[in-house]
Amino acid sequence: GVTYLATLDGGTVAVKIATGSAGIDDWKREVRALAQLQHPNIIRCIGVIAATPSFGLVLEYCEGGDLTRRLTKPTPAGFALRVARGVAAGMIHLHHRGVLHRDLKGGNILLDQPSGLCVKITDFGLAAQAPDNTRTGGWLTSEIGTYRWMAPEVCLHEQYSRSADVFSFGCVLFELITHEVPWADRRPLQAAVAFGLDNLRPALPEGLPGCIGQLLQECWLREPPARPTFASIHADLASLPERLTPAEHTW
């Protein structure tokens, strides 16, 4: 679809209009997902446009833009952990409501301000209902998402569920740490091959605090049930400042 800047009742909003039959299908999925979701870290849907031939969403406007673009510039102290905690909190709510995002990446995380005071997960056009784990019931096997952030089981058309979002979160955490997208030196399909077929992971920077590196590696585990839940991730991130040494805080 196409997103426009607009005004509504004197305020600024984003209006996302579906284009083509595929866009209308995504619009339907997004409407279903957003109808279930209400959380400070999930984009707020103000209204729905359903007036043939126009189908769209009226969403809150986030002046800070998307995370991937914001990370092309220097960020303030504490930015990475603040954003990571916000994303994890939003994903707890998402999964609690039985919704799988399926395209979690920096480009689908918005900042209400350039400083990243509050993050908003957006773009639910690929969202789906999903079971608690990949071992029991309600299988999903379609290859959906963006290759650089896609879990191996999704790339390989294996059974997957909510833990696929956890793998993608690991890629977002990698973005926050390095200010680069995963596998920046490879084409998107090559990135999927590295994650899925070769079971490789991007190299982490020297000096990265061990507790952060461990959390990222756990999100990137090949076996989906072995990955942490977002509740566990959020608790881990909340306790990180107390566990970091002064040198690690500086890093």
- Residue 233 tokens, joined: 């991730």
Q: What CA–CA distance (Å, rounded) separates 205 from 1?
A: 37
- Residue 37 tokens, joined: 């979701």
β-partners of residue 142 are: none
What is the pLDDT confidence band of residue 110, given thresholds at 50, 70 and 90?
Answer: very high
Q: Contact 63/119 with Cβ under 8 angstroms? A: no
Among 106, 99, 116, CA closest to 32: 99
- Residue 5 host element (H or E): strand 2-8
Check if 112 is active-site: no
Tell me: pLDDT of 132 over 80.
no
Mean of the pLDDT values across residues 191-219?
95
What is the pLDDT confidence band of residue 250, given thresholds at 50, 70 and 90?
Answer: confident
What is the pLDDT confidence band of residue 217, given thresholds at 50, 70 and 90?
Answer: very high
β-partners of residue 152 are: none
Look at the pTM and tell me if it is higher than 0.75: yes
Number of Cβ within 10 Å of residue 123's Cβ equals 23
Mean of the pLDDT values across residues 213-228?
96
Tell me: pLDDT of 138 over 50.
no
Catalytic residue among 26, 103, 112, 236: 103
Cα dihedral 179, 184, 218, 208, rounded to 10, equals: -40
Tell me: pLDDT of 47 over 90.
yes
Q: What is the pLDDT of residue 133?
A: 59
